Amino acid sequence: MKRLLWHCLILIALVTVPGCSATRPVAVSREALGTVVSVTAYGPDTAAVRDAIDRAYDAMAEVEAQLDSHDPASAISAFNADPYEPTVPPDDVLTVLDEIAEAGVADEFSPALLAVTGLYGFEEGGRVPDAGSLATALAASRGFGCTGDGMMAFARLSDPDARLEPGGPLAPGLDLGGAAKGLALDRAREALKASGAVTAALISTTSSTVMLGAKPDGSPWRVGVEDPRDLDSVVAVFTFSGDGALSTSGDYQRFFEADGKRYHHILDPATGLPARGVRSLTVAGSSLSGLRADILSTALFVKGAEGAVEYAEQHGIALYAVDAEGRAHLVPAPGGSGLSVAEQATPLP
Ligand code: AMP
Ligand code: MG
């Protein structure tokens, strides 16, 4: 009888110890996707949760190996090495292109701005491109399209400018830097879900976040939006009761100043110039994928505050934007979506 009691006690211990750890998450932060990615995951078996998190980072690395156009060994760089040769693009590129079309933002989100972005030299301190080079790179970027049989390529310009040759500074190329993080976070979330070990999780980079399931204590996931002119202050907070995605695009994330003007990394595909009118724009939705959220934050930034608000209202997407004058624009989430957004403070003027 005593022995049975001991067995029962041990059994209870085995059941309750993992039960306790289900309310304490495993939190891991690692360098990935050219930034730091944090994963907070809940599950009854801590070792299995850790294992699942490793798989999630593997999944993100796979997306990076496809879509990082700054890595010469990536699949997208292989495509870019010979941009005029009709080729079937890597699978993840096709996934992103389909999503841009489905979101209806092809005028604002261009997958083909590699040479245009490169002219600004954001990685090397920044420079204002001369108007001629900008026009040439922009014209070349517009030549991207299908050539038949699932193949794609850039059309050669009739202008025989040596700088447009493969490897040249104005040679066109694909750059999915405005979407790759979102897709990578989706794949990481899928890996956590597929493990069967994770009941709830939040995966975040500085600009994008995805949530899986509800926290075991029932409290919502909270994601703050920083003031684009005071990165230590939070100006809005999004709360999610379960699944969801959020993405922020900002003119403060990569920029330089010249002649008293801020040149930042989100370019208007119509002009090749930094999109003006918005400082920061966040979209969120409980049924949005990370990929859709990432594409939309970039595209709606280009649309400008008014167009962005209109799009968000029409598509049932929550939005918080700070315009060029420091005014906040808020579109609440649809009722019953499990998502809410509240202003926390007034952004700096
Ligand atoms: P995000 O921070 O997600 O808004 O993405 C910004 C990055 O996307 C830039 O660093 C560029 O690599 C790329 N990009 C800039 N402008 C655009 C645009 N209009 N459409 C698509 N990608 C862009
Ligand atoms: Mg984006």
Cβ pair 240, 338 in contact under 8 A: yes
Q: What is the pLDDT of residues 303-331, one digit of tens each?
A: 999 999 999 999 999 999 999 999 999 99
| Residue to mutate (ligand 1; options 69, 93, 113, 271; most atoms within 8 A of CB) | 113
CB distance 265 to ligand 1 below 6 Å: yes
- The closest residue, in CA terms, to atom 18 on ligand 1 is 109
The rounded Å distance from CA 50 to ligand 1 centre is 32
d(CA 25, CA 46): 8
d(CA 286, CA 211): 9
CB distance 112 to ligand 1 below 6 Å: no
- The closest residue, in CA terms, to atom 7 on ligand 1 is 178
Return the ∠ at Cα 188 (arms to 97 and 28), rounded to 5°: 140
CB distance 297 to ligand 1 below 6 Å: yes
Residue tagged 């040479």 (tokens):
115
CB distance 99 to ligand 1 below 6 Å: no
pLDDT at position 187: 98
Strands 200-204 and 35-42: antiparallel
Q: What is the pLDDT of residues 197-242, one digit of tens each?
A: 999 999 999 999 999 999 999 999 999 999 999 999 999 999 999 9
Quick one: what percent of the chain has pLDDT higher than 90?
93
- What's the predicted TM-score (pTM) here? 0.93
d(CA 324, CA 278): 5
Q: How many CA atoms lie within 13 A of 238 on its CB side?
A: 33
| Residue to mutate (ligand 1; options 97, 265, 292, 294; most atoms within 8 A of CB) | 265
Cβ of 28: how many Cβ atoms within 10 Å? Answer: 16
Contacts of 310 by beta carbon, 8 Å cutoff, 6+ apart? none
Q: What is the pLDDT of residues 238-284, one digit of tens each?
A: 999 999 999 999 999 999 999 999 999 999 999 999 999 999 999 99
Per-residue exposure over 47-76, b if at least 16 CB sit within 10 Å of its own CB, e if not: ebbeebbebbbebbbebbebbbbeeeebbb
- Please give the structure tokens belonging to residue 287: 């049924």
pLDDT at position 159: 84
- The closest residue, in CA terms, to atom 3 on ligand 1 is 178
DSSP state of 5: H
Give yes or no for residue 5 having a pLDDT over 60.
no
- Closest atom, ligand 1, to C-alpha of 295: 3
